[in-house]
Chains A and B, each alone.
Chain A
């Protein structure tokens, strides 16, 4: 009984984990290239969720079609914030970019609150469900799972097969070396930031399929924490590391939920969130370079 429940939950965790991973790739990309930690990460996920909601309710657009739209909106936001603030802070002490991205997150939350209000919202996308024996999975979650993998693959191809992607990788390896070889580092910074934000906003679309009525201007905070755990699991500066970190995190989160639920007198959901914080501290303490990355 417990074992069957555990398998079912782990399967759900794997599906959610892929989306978590995709939601963290932008964070890792930005840190890898610019060495800027986007503390406002969750707020961009929230923007993606609202893009989905708006596209679905006013334009009648199915959530999957909202992915490219969200990506473009995210890229736009990325360029705006890069040229207005981040660009000047790359060389400044870390404190400056940490506080700036934090404030950008707050600004986004407040703007969205101004437009949409602060109550919880949701949309109702009717899709069939499939029965996997141990658990029942709505097709929307399956789409999100497949969508995350496709986006991760596209990013991989773009990184490895295009000139712009190669330039980006060279900046991750050695900024000065890339500059000497004629890479326009400023342009790579701007692009990476915009793509990173674009991916994050697009991931907000996929995440709404797991929280149909949990869309709220302040929903991002929890995702920021999760994204940091995942990013650190994956070595912080590698988008693929982040993707696999997401899979691991999804499995741990859902698996531990099943196990915590066995302890009488506790709230398992709250404990899984405590666990993610403890995981963050432990990983940072023992392997700040990430569990998946060979040293």
Chain B
């Protein structure tokens, strides 16, 4: 029993950081929005890390999963409000649809792309967000390029009071929960045969295959899991926070870029990496937007190039190396 719980001790620092962020946000006046933004970036990083970090494959169309998750929530609220169904259950159903849409899309994309290796995989995913955006706009699905605005529907479903506390408080609480869950799932993967299989395939896919590992199965598992969390992040932080959804905004490649920066900065494939990366990126974005608005990518692009060339293991990768053999080692994976 003791041994079983020790397996999960690396979760303690992650949880501590999230609880600290939450408490600072609640306790210090005016900090809630900043802490919520940090949580958004941590959650985005955690979700992206499950696929990029564990498999070594890069998905350039990642934001598409956030986009369809957002649509899942928006469609649930508008359709149920039309039929007069109200209450918090609508939000729960919306979350379920925000899980279902990314699952379907990731299965469809994964069925083609995950057959391909390395560079070909990246090429196949590079158009997913644009392709899906133009499908929605071109075929006028889900209101096409006009998007969905569902402020009044949300008010009808929950009542004005509850709807506003949902967008200013509860949506951020959802993000905390999603980020924590994503970390927990990451750790669960790491501690079970799923993680061992993914590590093996990341190091040498052919060797893993020869050893009898069903690499495709594990790749798809990581891909779908990662996509589902992206859908939830989209639903919680976009659909519930700002009750509208426009295709150019939710399929904006910018968020894929941010996810890549966060994961690489913190350390791909580590548990604490996305948290550290998310905090650094979120804080610097926040302060840069005050002092040097619009410059964060100009600053982060060369940083990422330097990290890739000189420190490919990222911050937590280096910390992990340093902590090897010390008493801290059991808290870091």
Report A's interface with B, CB cutoff 8 A: 31, 35, 37, 39, 84-85, 88-89, 92-96, 98-100, 102-104, 106-107, 109-111, 113-114, 221-222, 224-225, 228-229, 232, 260, 265-274, 276-278, 280-281, 284-285, 288
Of A99, A114, A270, which contacts B58 at CB under 8 A?
A99
A231: nearest chain-B partner, CB-CB: B123
B92 within 8 Å of A (CB atoms) = no
Of B128, B138, B295, B309, which contacts A100 at CB under 8 A?
B309
Report B's interface with A, CB cutoff 8 A: 52, 56-58, 60, 112-113, 115-116, 118-120, 122-124, 126-128, 130-131, 134-135, 137-140, 144-145, 253, 257, 260, 264, 294-295, 297-298, 301-302, 304-305, 308-309, 312
Q: Which residues of A contact B122 (CB under 8 A)?
A: 37, 39, 94, 98
Residue pair A107, B298 in contact (C-beta under 8 Å): yes
Q: Which residues of A contact B113 (CB under 8 A)?
A: 281, 284
Q: Which residues of B contact A37 (CB under 8 A)?
A: 119, 122-123
Residue pair B134, A277 in contact (C-beta under 8 Å): yes
A284 CA to B117 CA in the complex, in Å?
Answer: 11
A99 CA to B257 CA in the complex, in Å?
Answer: 10
* Interface pairs (25), CB distance under 8 Å: A35-B119, A39-B60, A85-B308, A85-B309, A96-B308, A99-B264, A99-B308, A100-B309, A103-B304, A104-B301, A106-B301, A107-B301, A110-B297, A113-B294, A225-B130, A228-B126, A267-B140, A269-B138, A270-B135, A273-B130, A273-B138, A276-B131, A277-B128, A277-B134, A284-B124
Residue pair B309, A111 in contact (C-beta under 8 Å): no
Q: Which residues of A contact B135 (CB under 8 A)?
A: 270-271, 274
**CB-based closest 8 A-B pairs:** A277-B131, A270-B138, A271-B138, A107-B301, A110-B298, A277-B127, A94-B118, A270-B137
Q: Which residues of A contact B305 (CB under 8 A)?
A: 84-85, 100, 103-104, 107
A270: nearest chain-B partner, CB-CB: B138
Residue pair B123, A280 in contact (C-beta under 8 Å): yes
Residue pair A268, B138 in contact (C-beta under 8 Å): yes
A93: nearest chain-B partner, CB-CB: B56
- Asked, given contacts A85-B308, A107-B301, whether A98 binds B138 with beta carbons under 8 Å apart, the answer is no
Q: Which residues of A contact B308 (CB under 8 A)?
A: 85, 89, 96, 99-100, 103
Residue pair B260, A102 in contact (C-beta under 8 Å): yes
Q: Which residues of A contact B257 (CB under 8 A)?
A: 102, 106
A31 CA to B118 CA in the complex, in Å?
Answer: 13
Please give the distance in Å from A36's CB to the nearest CB on chain B: 8
Residue pair B139, A271 in contact (C-beta under 8 Å): yes
Q: Which residues of A contact B112 (CB under 8 A)?
A: 281, 284-285
Please give the distance in Å from A262's CB to the nearest CB on chain B: 14
Please give the distance in Å from A246's CB to the nearest CB on chain B: 16
B264: nearest chain-A partner, CB-CB: A99
A94 CA to B127 CA in the complex, in Å?
Answer: 19
A284: nearest chain-B partner, CB-CB: B124
